[in-house]
Structure 1
């Protein structure tokens, strides 16, 4: 599975990257194992660049949970980090989006996989291309590397230096960077 992380409010942490690191540390307690991760990227808030800038990243996750159960666990992690859902595109402490689950295409009961707008967002596709450049969108067939170049939202998104985020681990049982799961 591919999960995107984002935040533009540090909550009680020293900064947004520290909050995102803490969120990743919470994954195992929710049945989610991080197999690979991107570095952090920064971009202006969208659609209102006057709001605080966002820090984003992508992780490849291994889990025995179903897609729906995974989404529920992601929402629980968001809530534990102070996420509230008052209005769309509002500043937030933590945003966890389920981007894809293998080649699955699901559109039922409030669940849409792959994420319906991820392919348009450089702040998602850029980090995904870092960790899995050969991943292919289940609907369009375009690679993460190509989508990172053609994305129209968040064109200013760029990697930020963060030594703790440069570690990458290949998913078990797959080619490094294929992001098949």
Structure 2
């Protein structure tokens, strides 16, 4: 799961909000098994917006992927996330990147995430915790995808 945001909400910093969100995941039935460092990257498409913080967590999940998606959306809402315009500033963004080797394409959920493989701020953190993870469709590793990422090339660990 990718974790990110660029608005601190009522927290002292984006990192504090993201840490609080990670602490909430087990309550949502998603215990964290591994996590990356926080990464920073410029906002896109508006680089004048606050800088983003991103990371990746490996969680243990029960049930189907749609139930997991519903759980992460509930966590987002509990931190003040409202879904509006694409790429808008946000307090918390939780994205289900993959669910095992499942491939899903329906109106509510696309797995693997259709753009994660292009984003250094997702593949870089994923490569930290699972460099040999393989994309369910292409077979490319997280490390290979991080090296080839075309979006967020400025992303760096804090």
Aligned length: 158
Q: Decide whether the 8 Å contact of 1:5 with 1:57 is kept in 2.
A: yes
Selected match of 1:145 from 143, 146, 154: 143
Give runs of aligned pairs for residues 162-177 of structure 1, distance below 5 A.
none
Which runs of 4 or more aligned residues in structure 1 lie more than 2 Å from their structure 2 counterparts after TM superposition? none
Find the counterpart in structure 1 of residue 84 from structure 2: 86
Superposition pairs of residues 102-141 of structure 1, within 5 angstroms: 102-141=100-139
> Structure 2, unaligned stretches of length 5 or more?
none
CA–CA distance in structure 1, aligned partners of residues 11 and 99 of structure 2: 30
Which position in structure 2 is the counterpart of 1:48? 46
Tell me the alpha carbon deviations over residues 96-127 of structure 1, each in whole angstroms, 9 at most, x when there is no partner.
00000111111023210100000000000000
- Which residue of structure 2 aligns with residue 27 of structure 1? 25
Question: Where does the alignment leave 5 or more consecutive residues of structure 1 unmatched?
Answer: 161-181
User: TM (normalized to structure 2)?
Assistant: 0.98
CA RMSD of aligned residues (A): 0.7
